[in-house]
């Protein structure tokens, strides 16, 4: 295929990839933010106060929203211990999320040539939609705690299994297009977190019931997934996308035919030459032969720097966010509405998601340093400094380390640079990875990058226990 590529009219392809990026993470963000709803349904004694399980089971976001009320009740009665199911919910949720995410992202790297991309993406979106529809319906259905727990864990496994295939396929698809078209996926994922954080702050402010808030989250997630399905169906109709999605196939076929023809010519010439001298390619002086399909390992060798970089970015990020950052206590106004109710939702969750989104979005207009620059891996490694910085903030409780950055301003400054660098560097790595290989290898490279992104999330979750213990 030759000639100039058609324009991306009205940025249609860019917007579709943005919506698809939003659709990959917004549902799971809403699911995570409804942790208090799930733990509330798991209590075996319905008469136990809703705040009893906040110390060990509720999401950090919910702890912040009810902190002042919990302190007021602490002097009036003894808090009963949470039920067994409530006590293990967060750990089981993490396990049921991370294992399928890693396994199916890895699996997608090997099966994407055997299962059409349309099948992988559409089936994943439809499956996630059905899971969230079921989740929304179950909000209104009474159920025994054990049955509800099992069904919830199965849903988490399904969401993250299909989400892994969706994310890996989506990054592989973006790898076929110019490097800047991975940025809208990353930007959409960043907006998902921001939108979910704002929704939680609104829920705290309005004082909505848990059931009503959870039902609203799940229905909103269903609407976003439907938008993503409609956008993806529209995608093949756009000339810009059709040009690039077929370009690698066309070029690969032409390359194979050209190589086959040159090989035949070489054989004929060798037969004619008395000494059987190998005929060299007139372009680069090397003999040509038909090239086999590239293996996953050979592609990984070309992109391992980018893959390791994106893995390290998310290992550092998830290592301290939110396990360490959410335990920070305001020192400016600890007993006011800001300190007791809004400090963590605003300074931790909202600030992180806004600046993470800003960093991801910046790669749409600026991609510095370049894909072959040694500065990029150095910048990635330098982010490790945020681990001790946050650990030395006013994280409570603590046993070993002193507090060196007690003021809220330090925490907010660290969070701004931490989140912005996460979004910008991760997006750069995901954009550059598929561009370090041949065009017909780009989709495989994209899925490999998605696997290492998931690996970074898993490693970060593991290290978070260590960092919290050290404090």
Q: Distance between CA atoms of 422 and 190, rounded to whole angstroms? A: 10
pLDDT digits (tens, 9 = 90+) for 279-322: 443 334 444 444 445 678 888 999 999 999 999 999 999 888 87
Task: Write down the pLDDT at residue 389.
Answer: 96
Q: Which of 233, 11, 238 is nearest to 125 (CA)?
A: 233
Taking CA atoms, 190 is separated from 66, 184, 187, 437, in Å, by 27, 10, 5, 27
Residue 13 lies in a domain: yes
Residue 278 lies in a domain: no
Residue pointed to by tokens 């750990």: 91
Q: Distance between CA atoms of 441 and 296, rounded to whole angstroms? A: 9
First CA to last CA distance, the chain: 59
Q: Distance between CA atoms of 300 and 259, rounded to whole angstroms? A: 24
- Do residues 11 and 175 lie in contact, with contact meaning Cβ atoms separated by under 8 Å? no
Q: Distance between CA atoms of 459 and 250, rounded to whole angstroms? A: 39
Residue 187 lies in a domain: yes
Residue 383 lies in a domain: yes
pLDDT digits (tens, 9 = 90+) for 225-281: 999 999 999 999 998 888 887 765 444 444 444 444 544 445 444 445 444 444 443
Percentages helix, strand, coil for the chain, rounded to the nearest 5? 75, 0, 25
Strand partners, 328: 395
Q: Which of 67, 59, 57 is nearest to 30 (CA)?
A: 59
Task: Write down the pLDDT at residue 127.
Answer: 94
CATH code (residue 76): 1.20.1250.20
Spell out the residues 6+ positions from residue 416 whose beta carbon is closer than 8 angstroms to its own: 351, 355
Q: Distance between CA atoms of 376 and 119, rounded to whole angstroms? A: 35
pTM: 0.70
For 453, the token pair is: 């992104």
Within 10 Å of residue 116's Cβ, how many Cβ atoms? 11
Q: Let me know how long the chain is.
A: 471
Which regions in the chain score pLDDT beneath 50?
1-2, 45-80, 249-260, 262-265, 267-271, 273-292
Residue 85 lies in a domain: yes
Spell out the residues 6+ positions from residue 401 whose beta carbon is closer than 8 angstroms to its own: 391, 392, 470, 471
Range of the domain at 358: 9-237+293-470
Q: Which of 137, 135, 100, 105 is nearest to 120 (CA)?
A: 105
Number of domains comprising the chain: 1
Residue 398 lies in a domain: yes
For 209, the token pair is: 């019931």
Q: Distance between CA atoms of 165 and 104, rounded to whole angstroms? A: 6
Residue 228 lies in a domain: yes
Task: Mark 70-81 as b/e (b = at least 16 C-beta within 10 Å).
Answer: beeeeeeeeeee
For 367, the token pair is: 């991609």
Task: Write down the pLDDT at residue 457.
Answer: 85
DSSP-H helix ranges across 383-441: 386-391, 408-432
Residue 203 lies in a domain: yes
Q: Which of 306, 274, 456, 284 is nearest to 373 (CA)?
A: 306
């Amino acid at each position: 295929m030759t000639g100039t590529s058609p324009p991306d009219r009205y940025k249609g392809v860019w917007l579709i990839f943005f919506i698809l990026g939003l659709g990959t993470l917004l549902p799971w963000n809403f699911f995570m933010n409804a942790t208090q709803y799930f733990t509330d349904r798991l209590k075996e004694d319905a008469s136990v106060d809703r705040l009893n399980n906040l110390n060990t089971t509720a999401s950090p976001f919910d702890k912040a929203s009810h902190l002042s009320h919990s302190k007021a009740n602490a002097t009036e009665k003894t808090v009963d211990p949470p039920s067994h199911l409530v006590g293990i919910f967060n750990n089981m949720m993490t396990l049921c999320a991370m294992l399928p995410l890693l396994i199916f992202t890895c699996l997608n790297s090997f099966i994407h040539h055997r299962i059409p991309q349309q099948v992988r993406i559409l089936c994943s979106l439809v499956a996630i939609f059905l899971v969230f529809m079921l989740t929304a319906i179950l909000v209104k259905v009474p159920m025994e705690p054990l049955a509800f727990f099992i069904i919830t864990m199965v849903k988490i496994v399904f969401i993250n299994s299909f989400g892994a295939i969706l994310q890996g396929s989506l990054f592989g698809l973006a790898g076929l297009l110019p490097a800047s078209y991975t940025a809208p996926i990353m930007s959409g994922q960043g907006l998902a977190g921001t939108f979910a954080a704002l929704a939680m702050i609104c829920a705290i402010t309005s004082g909505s019931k848990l059931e009503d808030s959870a039902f609203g989250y799940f229905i909103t997630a269903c609407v976003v997934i439907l938008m993503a399905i409609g956008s993806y169906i529209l995608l093949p109709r756009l000339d810009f996308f059709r040009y690039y999605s077929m370009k690698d196939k066309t070029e690969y076929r032409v390359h194979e035919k050209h190589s086959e023809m040159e090989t035949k010519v070489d054989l004929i010439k060798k037969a004619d030459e008395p000494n059987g001298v190998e005929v060299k390619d007139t372009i680069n002086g090397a003999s040509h032969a038909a090239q086999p399909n590239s293996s996953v390992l050979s592609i990984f060798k070309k992109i391992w720097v980018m893959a390791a970089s994106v893995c390290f970015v998310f290992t550092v990020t998830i290592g301290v966010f939110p396990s360490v950052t959410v335990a920070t206590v305001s020192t400016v106004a600890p007993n006011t509405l800001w300190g007791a109710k809004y400090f963590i939702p605003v300074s931790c969750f909202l600030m992180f998601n806004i600046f993470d989104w800003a960093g991801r979005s910046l790669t749409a207009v600026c991609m510095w340093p370049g894909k072959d620059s040694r500065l990029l891996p150095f910048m990635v490694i330098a982010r490790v400094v945020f681990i001790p910085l946050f650990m030395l903030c006013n994280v409570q409780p603590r046993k070993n380390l002193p507090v060196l950055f007690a003021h809220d301003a330090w925490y907010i400054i660290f969070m701004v640079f931490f989140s912005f660098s996460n979004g910008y560097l991760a997006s750069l790595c995901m954009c550059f990875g598929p561009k370090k290989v041949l065009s017909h290898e780009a989709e495989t490279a994209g899925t490999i990058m998605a696997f290492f992104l998931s690996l970074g999330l898993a490693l970060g979750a593991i290290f978070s226990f260590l960092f919290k213990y050290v404090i």
